[in-house]
Amino acid sequence: MMMTKTNFALVAALLMICSCTVKNAAHIRKMEWLVGTWEHTTSKGSVYETWQKAERNELRGRSYMIKNEDTIVFEIIRLVQHKGNLFYVPVVKDQNGGAPICFEGKKISETQLVFENKMHDFPQVISYKKISEDSLKAEISGLRNGKEERRHFPMRRIK
């Protein structure tokens, strides 16, 4: 009888672990459409954002510009699953003393990612919307000096 209870507890624990792993992997799979290199064209040149799958529960990205054959990195980003929540964690050059800032996932789907941090100065919201396989619109928004501000970044996939 004792052996049966132990086996039951072990099977229950394994089922919980497996369901959590599947759930976590499902969240990350919803974000995998972002993997690749994206280009945003500006009057000063192109800005790129490159994303790759790093681990089972993480995507890593960076935004940069290429100027005179030099790569100028603006930010390093992690999209990471932690304790059932998804976080967008950028480290922006020359901001916050090089410390990462966490934005919590508010909407994660096969076509839209929305992350929020109401305590951050600007932006408070970072979002990505898939337009097609080769097109997306990134946006940062929030209050700046008491006024609502939005910046749109249409991007096209180049890899």
pLDDT digits (tens, 9 = 90+) for 26-39: 566 778 899 999 99
By percentage, how much of the chain surpasses pLDDT 70? 82
Core vs surface per residue 118-147: b (16+ CB within 10 A) or e: eeeeebbbbbbebeeeeebebbebbeeeee
| pLDDT at residue 95, as a whole number | 86
| pLDDT at residue 102, as a whole number | 96
Dihedral sign (CA 130, 26, 87, 61): negative
**Per-domain residue ranges of the chain:** 2-157
149 or 83, which is more confident: 149
Confidence of residue 157 (pLDDT cuts 50, 70, 90): very high
Averaged pLDDT for residues 39-68:
92
* pLDDT for 8 beyond 60: no
| pLDDT at residue 23, as a whole number | 42
| pLDDT at residue 30, as a whole number | 79
Distance CA 16, CA 104 (A): 24
The domain made up of 2-157 has a fold known as Lipocalin (2.40.128)
| pLDDT at residue 25, as a whole number | 54
Global pTM reads 0.80
